[in-house]
Amino acid sequence: MQETEEGRVPGEWSRNWTSRVLSRIFPPRCARADCVSRPLIWRRTPMIRMDDRWLCSARCVEAEARATFEHMSMPKEPAAGHRVPLGLLMLARGFLSEAQLQTVLAAQRQARGGKIGSWAQRLNFSTERQVLTALSLQWSCPVLALQTPPDFTCTAMIPWKLLQALRMMPVRFIRSTRLLYLALCEGIDHGALLAIEQMLVCHVVPCLVSDHAMDAWIERKSSWTAPGVRVFNQTSGAAEMARITASYAGRLCADQIQIVRCGAHGWVRLTAGGNKSDLLFDLGWLHHDRPAEGLEWSAVG
């Protein structure tokens, strides 16, 4: 279905308006089992939808948001290490000799950090293209190949703080099919990609780029900072994040709230009519679940 220049499907505004009117005349029941409000035939204020659950008041919004934040704030279990080590892939493809691989690993251990591919390039054993080819095999992800320059206007779809933390960059958005091509250089965080798909109602196509290309794009961040994004780096926990979310929802008269975990951040999108505002909460700070620097020199690359 075709979309307008503003990115909305034709008829979306009228359907949303009809839905808001019906939610006042025939309001659905509040999804909270502990709700103390009485069912009404007519509501002076509209119901608020949070992740396909209807909520009737700021109290219920805060309670539902707290339950969501408590779930996503739990420490994540490390992903199973099922990938073939990058060094072995480069050896099998002939990009490194056995002696060169041993030299790369020794340099990595001595420096206590750095990536296998970066060390291979730094020692002039491999080219950037060879490293990308090996990473593509390791992650089963294609290398980005654009015939035209990237369209960085679509970076406004995702808060800059998330792009910077996850080292990813939207490079093309096809509105007719809602395909978002997303450049990556730090491996694939499938949980983050799923969160982006849920939040933007699109299909994400990940593609690999070099660290050099990503660094060049990130350096231009000043012109990509999206308005309407509020970042909270330190909070006391789920209760405070829920209070902040409910407060902003009331202040902005939001009729829809979406909450997802994207990497080490809780991403909240508040929609009021056609206007969207984002809140970002640092979840990694709560449990200190960021990877330690000493773990970066594993032979996986």
Phi, psi at 173, each rounded to 5°:
-125, 120
Confidence band for 44, pLDDT divided at 50, 70 and 90 = low
Which of residues 73 and 143 earns the better pLDDT score? 143
Query: 79 — alpha (psi -120 to 50), left (phi > 0) or beta?
Result: beta
Amino acid 41: pLDDT: 54
Mean pLDDT across the chain, nearest whole number?
A: 82
Segments making up each domain of the chain, as ranges = 25-75+227-287, 86-139, 152-223
Lookup: tokens for 67: 């339950």
pTM: 0.79
158 HSE (CA, 13 A, CB side):
36
pLDDT digits (tens, 9 = 90+) for 200-241: 999 999 999 988 889 888 887 655 556 678 999 888 899 999
Confidence band for 287, pLDDT divided at 50, 70 and 90 = low
Q: CATH for 152-223, among 1.10.1060.10, 3.50.50.60, 3.30.300.100, 3.30.300.160?
A: 3.30.300.160
Amino acid 299: pLDDT: 32
pLDDT digits (tens, 9 = 90+) for 67-79: 999 998 877 766 6
Show the 3-state SS of 58-92: HHHHHHHHHHHHHHHCCCCCCCCCCCCCHHHHHHH
**Residue 144 Cα distances to 11, 79, 184, 205, 214, angstroms:** 35, 25, 9, 10, 12
